[in-house]
Copies of this chain bind each other. A is one copy, B any other.
Amino acid sequence: MALNEALNEQKSVLVAALEQDDTGPLEELLPELRAADIAEILEGILEEDDDASTVFSLLNLLSIERRANVYGYLPAEAQEELAEAMSDETLLALFEEMGSDERADLFNLLDEDRREGLLRRMARQEREDIKRLASYEEGTAGAVMTSDYVAIPSGMTVSQALMRVRQTAPDAETVYQIYVLDEEGRLAGTMSLRQLMVARPGARVDDLMIKDVISVRVDDPQEEAARLVARYDLLAVPVIDAEERLVGIVTYDDAMDVAESEATEDIHKGMSIGQLEDGVSRVPLWSLYRKRVIWLVLLVFANLFSGAGIAYFEDIITAQVALVFFLPLLIGSGGNAGAQAATLMVRGMAIGDVGLKDWGKLLGRELLVAGSLGVTMAVAVAPIGILRGGEAVAMVVAMSMVTIVLFGSLLGMCLPFLLNRVGWDPATASAPLVTTLIDASGVLIYFSIATAILSGL
């Protein structure tokens, strides 16, 4: 994790003060720092120093509320490491102060024996909450939601509802959206605190609330929750179970985190890198190797088609070795243009800008753009063709350039649609896959054109 300069300096001051037992700077600096920044400083210390004692000394200087807050900002690995070194008592005290979603995540990091032991020592309500939240599969809305929301029963007046908000304020993740439940706990409506505040105190919430509530199911993918929050500018999206009972909410800040990690996953996928369980500087090496090697080896075998293609054209190559000079250039250019086209489609689909039925229109557009790109690149390469291989070779190279760039771009553009059509993730159309396919077809195109033109000479 990269600390910026200011944070790095604060870290040094804190560590030095701890080592010299000098409480002055600690008492001065710590209250000024925000939880996210303290977490980053602690992470920096943990990385440099295998011993967690400095981190514990710092954490112990914070109130338990603040400690819980800082804890939520630490990456999973650091949370796990610290939790292992903590007594059950400290961990239980921390649990009580943490947000329900972060608590469940931390709980899931502990080994099973410890989890059982901790559960036995919790109050019933807390235990049920933690067990329920910890049970949802990773990647679902249930796994990122919090159960700290403000819910009121149907039938309340505005002033009763406001009173309830005031009571819940210290614990709820957000008090700015209020959810109204019927007798069975089903989500009947929602109202914003803003609406509540301007409403007549005696009015009934049921008459004012929005009844057609946007919600997600607890087993929906977390991206769906994030997408709804972003699309409708929500503060939080309510999460319901199969019986339509409200079980949690996904707040906008968690939705932002989900969106960021989804974007990272998409970017990695674009290079055929599997989903990493942690940041690139922290993920175990073995895991990083595995997430990269699979496609690389698959593509080694796919690339053998290029080799087979070349072998097939051995005669023309032997006759005109100058053709080989342009091989990396032509297949490389086709690969670049194709990877661009694929990336534009994959990202367009990811953000909902491109759909399956836009295919025809986009194909027409790509035909025009890629054709122009191909001609431009052919013009750029032609003089060098003349210089290195004479006019005939230059003609072969220029014609191949147009054909390969056009073919590669259309292939790159269509592949995400095809994959989507057969139910695969369109992002599988990664740059490495697209360039490998274009390598093989580029070889065939190039040497076929060469054979047609040069063997007549």
Residues of A near any B CB (own CB < 8 A): 1-4, 32, 34, 36, 165-166, 169-170, 175-176, 193-194, 197-198, 212, 214, 229-233, 252-253, 255-257, 259-260, 263-264, 266-268, 270-273, 279-281, 285, 288-289, 292-293, 295-297, 299-301, 303-304, 306-308, 310-311, 314, 317-318, 321-322, 324-329, 331-333, 335-337, 339-340, 343-345, 347-349, 351-358, 361-362, 365, 368-369, 372-373, 376-377, 380-381, 384, 388, 431-432, 435-436, 439-440, 443
Contacts and interface: CB of A to CB of B under 8 A. Distances in A.
A340 B229 CA distance: 31
A159 B260 CA distance: 39
Nearest to A443: B328
A345 B268 CA distance: 10
B439 A328 contact: yes
Most B Cβ at <10 Å: residue of A3, A197, A300: A300
A50 to B, nearest CB: 14
B353 A1 contact: yes
Contact of A435 (B166, B197, B231, B332): B332
A212 B32 contact: yes
Contacts of A4: 355
Contacts of A435: 332, 335-336, 435
5 contacts: A230-B260, A300-B377, A300-B381, A303-B332, A310-B325
Would you list the 6 A-B pairs with minimal beta carbon distance, nearest first?
A2-B355, A306-B328, A307-B325, A263-B263, A233-B253, A303-B329
Nearest to A347: B267
Given A281-B358, A369-B289, A300 B380 contact: yes
Contact of A285 (B326, B329, B369): B369
B344 A296 contact: no
A1 B443 CA distance: 36
